[in-house]
């Protein structure tokens, strides 16, 4: 048997902090590998609801449970990254202490815990409850942003846009809120394949940051500011990836020129991202540059060719691989450089893991004649080459305001061939077009 006794709740102080929305509190933030800083709510309550648990027998044992104790246990588990344990404690508050000032915190923090466990659908449910039950509170703004982030992880990009439309209509948004909303909008549009609109959203973020009052401006290495720069680079990387080489030769020559220009454009933008010094985006950008060298090799190898005899094919691929080898060497160098600099700077995230796997895979491929022969046979048969490795990943859903450490500048990473010196071919300006992927 459980009896809930509702005592009078005295004036309570509640502070809920997350990323770009600063609502007070001094608790040390929890940081995940992307640079996310999540500050669970800090509570101070003078009087508190109490839960009395009894075994149901006369004279049996009873236990008095204070909601403050339950919440402290939840917060302790959360800080230790024991998210399943934290959720058990938050669930007690959500079920039995809905009149407590800890109730809002328990709902919200449950969403965070579910997100860290990659149980994003359940996280969405918690954030929606915060929005529904506390819509007039400023904490609901945090829930809107977290809901957008969780939906992004679920790749429900159209819903992300709906949530962001509602979010930006709320009053009291800060500069950091507006920048986060615009960058998340770019991510959602990118996920929907609307690349020209995504680029516009990312560039709007960068313009908002550039025009901000210096007294209120965010640091240049703020998570969503740098994430927007990375997003622009990814748009041009995607355009680069979309160009495939098809006969006739005249078309191939034109497409090669365009692909080179788009490569240089994207590389220059990734280098600009690296120079912002945010550890997460730096690692991601170096990985993507290496991935582009590898993709260029694979696309040229998979170029459409006329019918050849076995002897002609052997000579063709032998000469082609020799000419393309510098691309693979550049890819290897960037992968190795990313690992070395990440270890030196103590950076460990999803892109360091991707880089390590890509390096091992690529080294194996270059020393495996059978794998290379299978690709050559596929090209001659007009089949798709499976690729030399995993596809370039979608940009991660940005996380709130990770402050980056200074990044070592690499003498190789010059943007002399970057966007300022490259003119985009007019036929590639419509970023939503997939014409180059056509047969």
pLDDT, one tens digit per residue, over 258-281 is 999 999 999 999 999 999 999 999
The residue length of the chain stands at 439
Q: How far is CA 45 from the centre of its chain?
A: 37
Calculate mean pLDDT across residues 118-125: 98
Q: What is the pLDDT of residue 382?
A: 81
Q: What is the pLDDT of residue 432?
A: 31
323 phi and psi, to 5 degrees?
A: -70, -30
Q: How far is CA 237 from the centre of its chain?
A: 16
154/127 Cα distance (integer angstroms): 15
Number of neighbouring beta carbons within 10 Å of residue 66: 15
- Give the pLDDT band (50/70/90) at residue 362: very high
What is the overall mean pLDDT for the chain?
A: 80
Residues 131-146: tens digit of each pLDDT? 999 999 999 999 999 9
Q: Does position 387 have pLDDT exceeding 90, yes or no?
A: no
Residues 193-222: tens digit of each pLDDT? 999 999 999 999 999 999 999 999 999 999
Structure tokens at 433: 């077009």
Domains detected in the chain: 2-173 (1.25.40.10), 223-437 (no CATH)
Structure tokens at 133: 């039950």
Given a contact cutoff of 8 angstroms between Cβ atoms, the answer to whether 73 and 88 are in contact is no
b vs e for 270-290, b when ≥16 Cβ sit within 10 Å of the residue's Cβ? bbbbbbbbbbbbbbbbbbbbb
Name, in order, each residue with C-beta under 8 angstroms of 360's C-beta and a sequence gap of 6 or more: none
DSSP reduced 3-state for 101: coil
- Give the pLDDT band (50/70/90) at residue 359: very high
Q: What is the pLDDT of residue 189?
A: 98
33/283 Cα distance (integer angstroms): 11
- Give the pLDDT band (50/70/90) at residue 380: confident
pTM for the whole structure: 0.76
C-alpha to C-alpha distances, 260 to 57, 277, 428, 429, nearest whole angstrom: 80, 27, 13, 15
Bond into 248 cis (ω within 30)? yes
Q: Does position 430 have pLDDT exceeding 70, yes or no?
A: no
DSSP reduced 3-state for 177: helix
Helix and strand totals (H; E) in the chain: 14, 6
Residues 176-196: tens digit of each pLDDT? 999 999 999 999 999 999 999
């Amino acid at each position: 048997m459980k009896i809930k006794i509702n005592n009078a709740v005295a004036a309570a102080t509640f502070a809920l902090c997350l990323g770009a929305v600063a609502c007070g509190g001094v608790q040390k933030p929890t940081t995940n590998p992307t640079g996310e800083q999540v500050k669970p709510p800090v509570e101070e309550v003078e009087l508190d609801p109490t839960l009395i648990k009894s075994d149901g027998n006369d004279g049996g044992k009873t236990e008095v449970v204070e909601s403050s104790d339950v919440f402290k246990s939840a917060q302790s588990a959360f800080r230790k990254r024991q998210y399943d344990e934290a959720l058990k404690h938050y669930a007690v508050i959500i079920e039995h202490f809905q009149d407590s000032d800890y109730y809002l915190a328990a709902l919200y923090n449950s969403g965070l815990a579910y997100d860290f466990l990659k149980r994003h659908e359940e996280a969405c449910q918690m954030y929606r409850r915060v929005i529904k039950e506390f819509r007039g509170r400023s904490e609901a703004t945090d829930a809107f942003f977290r809901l957008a982030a969780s939906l992004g992880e679920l790749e429900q990009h159209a819903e992300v846009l709906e949530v962001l439309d509602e979010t930006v209509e709320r009053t009291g948004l800060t500069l950091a809120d507006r920048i986060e909303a615009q960058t998340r909008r770019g991510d959602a549009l990118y996920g929907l394949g609307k690349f020209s609109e995504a680029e516009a959203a990312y560039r709007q973020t960068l313009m908002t940051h550039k025009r901000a009052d210096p007294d209120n401006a965010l640091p240049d290495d703020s998570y969503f500011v740098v994430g927007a720069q990375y997003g622009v680079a990814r748009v041009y990387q995607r355009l680069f990836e979309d160009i495939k080489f098809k006969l006739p030769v005249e078309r191939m020559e034109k497409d090669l020129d365009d692909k080179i220009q788009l490569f240089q454009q994207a590389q220059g933008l990734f280098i600009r991202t690296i120079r912002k010094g945010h550890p997460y985006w730096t690692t991601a950008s170096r990985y993507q540059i290496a991935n582009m060298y590898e993709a260029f090799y694979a696309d040229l190898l998979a170029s459409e060719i006329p019918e050849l005899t076995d002897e002609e094919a052997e000579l063709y691929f032998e000469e082609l691989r020799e000419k393309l080898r510098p691309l693979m060497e550049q890819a290897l160098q960037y992968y190795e450089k990313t690992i070395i600099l990440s270890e030196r700077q103590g950076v460990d995230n999803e892109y360091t893991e991707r880089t390590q796997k890509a390096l091992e895979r690529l080294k194996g491929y270059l020393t495996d004649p059978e794998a290379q022969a299978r690709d050559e046979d596929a090209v001659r048969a007009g089949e798709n080459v499976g690729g030399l490795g995993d596809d370039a990943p979608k940009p991660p859903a940005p996380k709130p305001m990770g402050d980056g450490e200074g990044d070592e500048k690499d003498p190789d990473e010059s943007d002399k061939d970057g966007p300022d010196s490259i003119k985009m071919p007019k036929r590639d300006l419509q970023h939503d077009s997939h014409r180059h992927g056509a047969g």
